[in-house]
């Protein structure tokens, strides 16, 4: 027999970036424990529409933990209580009957709220644009065995590439630092042979852009790693610091 629960939702409602927001409480009955968190919000929105009220705006796309758009803080934790889980992969069986669930957007100055639970994460796009390319040839795909890559290097690059750019690291960090995101993107390209020619320029450009977007500095608190749905390691930040320091030294000696 399907188990259901009654919930009280405290949802952040904000018309747009220029207005103040507030929490609004909504009772929700007979929610299946097999529902995903976003399906639960769909049920809420169906009820609001039937009542002639404005539905809650929230980001979503793949609902498979791939796109990174389901960005929301649930009961004070980015993506909710389950480790290595995006909000869309979170299921209601991890909550209990009668519980009050507080849902709010990412809280970080570089991510201004656009509406309700939706924030503007285009600063991440600009960080990527600053260094997210290689000078490899365009055209047909290169033969897979033309450039052998050690398994350890390939695994490290894949671990870095797992970052979905959701922004949970920024939301969880007391400094609103984007170091884990930036480090993963830099490591992904800097570790592979195809990205080596731009390695120094990439590290300098992406870190400079990150700082210019208003993200805070990293003080190794570790909250970013704890909430990352893809479990990106703090080791990536250590590698970025090494790459950035080396690039700065090389840049200095080129200038003199």
CATH of 4-115, one of 3.30.530.20, 3.10.20.30, 3.30.420.40, 3.30.450.20: 3.10.20.30
CA angle in degrees (0–180, nearest 5) for 240-248-108: 50
Rounded to 10 deg, the angle between the 122-131 and 199-212 helix axes is 160
pLDDT of res. 2: 81
pLDDT of res. 158: 96
What architecture (CATH level 2) is domain 121-136+144-255? Orthogonal Bundle (1.10)
pLDDT of res. 134: 84
Please give the structure tokens belonging to residue 250. Answer: 């090389």
Residue spans in the chain of domains classed CATH 3.10.20.30: 4-115
pLDDT of res. 243: 97
CB burial string 105-141: b at 16+ within 10 A, e below: bbebebbbbbbbbbbebebbeebbebbbeeeeeeeee
At 35, is the secondary structure helix, strand, or coil? coil
Q: How far is CA 158 from CA 108, 154, 188, 191, 203, in A?
A: 28, 6, 7, 10, 18
Q: How far is CA 156 from CA 13, 225, 232, 235, in A?
A: 40, 16, 11, 11
Ranges of residues in the chain whose predicted pLDDT is under 50: none
pLDDT of res. 106: 98
> What DSSP character marks residue 227?
H
Give the dihedral of Cα atoms 128, 134, 137, 138; nearest 10 deg. Answer: -10
Residue spans in the chain of domains classed CATH 1.10.1060.10: 121-136+144-255
pLDDT of res. 41: 98
Q: What is the widest separation between alpha-carbon atoms in the chain?
A: 75
């Amino acid at each position: 027999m399907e188990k259901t629960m009654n919930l009280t939702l405290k949802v952040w409602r904000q018309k747009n970036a220029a207005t103040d927001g507030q929490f609004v409480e909504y009772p929700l009955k007979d929610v299946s424990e097999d529902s995903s968190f976003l399906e639960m919000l769909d049920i809420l929105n169906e009820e609001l529409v039937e009542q002639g009220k404005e539905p809650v705006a929230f980001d979503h796309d793949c609902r498979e933990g791939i796109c990174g758009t389901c960005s929301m803080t649930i009961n004070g934790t980015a993506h909710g209580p389950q480790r290595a889980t995006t909000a869309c992969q979170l299921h209601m069986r991890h909550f209990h009957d009668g519980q009050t669930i507080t849902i709010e957007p990412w809280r970080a100055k570089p991510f201004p709220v656009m509406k309700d639970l939706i924030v503007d994460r285009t600063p991440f796009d600009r960080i990527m644009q600053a260094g997210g390319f290689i000078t490899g040839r365009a055209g047909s795909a290169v033969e897979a065995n033309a450039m052998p890559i050690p398994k350890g290097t390939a695994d490290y690059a894949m671990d870095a590439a797992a970052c979905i750019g959701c922004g949970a690291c920024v939301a969880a960090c007391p400094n609103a630092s984007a170091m884990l995101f930036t480090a993963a993107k830099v490591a992904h390209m800097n570790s592979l042979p195809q990205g080596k020619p731009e390695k120094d320029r990439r590290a300098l450009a992406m870190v400079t852009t990150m700082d210019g977007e208003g993200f805070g500095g990293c003080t190794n608190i570790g909250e970013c790693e704890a909430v990352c749905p893809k479990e990106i390691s703090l080791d990536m930040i250590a590698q970025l610091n090494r790459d950035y320091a080396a690039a700065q030294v090389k840049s200095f000696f080129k200038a003199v």
